């Protein structure tokens, strides 16, 4: 493979690996992991709502890994309620789920950054002296990706 083509291939792979790390970091901080609709059934039953009137009693809920927001519509307009995981939902949802997601996302970010570093080292440096031959370089690139 030509040197210019090799640099271009490894730079592209490094940029994709870096984009993976940034995308994972953005997903961890995002509030839009789960989105749903809530029906205020008590209010809808009181006025016997159906059809277009029922839309006044449907609210929204959206939450991410750390916080969320609920917007209830019970016929009187929206009432927003913001909540966070650790003080509010800790007794309902097990903390092990959130800790596992945080741990695996952190591992994914670290491996993606290590992979980007190896690809850039291979493109612009001398990886054979640094990593003790091509077998070590390809092994670490495979593990990090």
Q: Domain locations in the chain? A: 3-144
pLDDT above 80: residue 139: no
Cα-to-chain-centroid distance, residue 121: 27
Please determine, for residue 131, whether its predicted confidence score (pLDDT) is greater than 80: no
Give residue 103's pLDDT. Answer: 92
Give per-residue pLDDT as tens, 31-83.
Answer: 778 888 888 776 666 667 677 777 777 888 888 777 888 888 776 777 888 88
Would you state the pLDDT for residue 85? 74
pLDDT of residue 87: 74
Angle between the N-to-C axes of helices 134-144 and 95-124, in degrees from 0 to 180, rounded to the nearest 10: 150
Considering the entire predicted model, what is its pTM?
0.64
Which residues is 34 bridged to in the sheet?
A: 63
Please report the pLDDT score of residue 109 as a whole number: 92
List the one residue out of 91, 94, 71 whose CA is nearest residue 81: 71
Q: According to DSSP H, which parts of the chain are helical?
A: 3-29, 41-46, 95-124, 127-130, 134-144
Which of 116, 125, 118, 120 is CA-nearest to residue 139? 118
As a whole number, mean pLDDT of residues 6-15 equals: 84
């Amino acid at each position: 493979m030509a040197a210019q083509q090799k640099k271009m291939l490894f730079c592209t792979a490094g940029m994709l690996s870096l984009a993976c790390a940034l995308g994972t970091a953005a997903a961890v901080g995002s509030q839009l992991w789960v989105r749903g609709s809530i029906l205020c059934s008590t209010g809808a039953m009181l006025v016997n709502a159906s059809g277009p009137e029922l839309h006044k009693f449907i609210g929204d809920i959206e939450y991410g890994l750390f916080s969320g927001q609920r917007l209830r519509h019970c016929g009187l307009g929206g009432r927003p309620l913001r909540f966070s995981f650790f003080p509010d939902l800790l007794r309902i949802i097990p903390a092990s789920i959130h800790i596992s997601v945080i741990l695996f996302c952190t591992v994914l970010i670290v491996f993606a950054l290590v992979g980007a570093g190896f690809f850039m080292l291979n493109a612009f440096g001398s990886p054979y002296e640094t990593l003790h031959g091509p077998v070590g370089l390809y092994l670490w690139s495979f593990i990090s990706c």
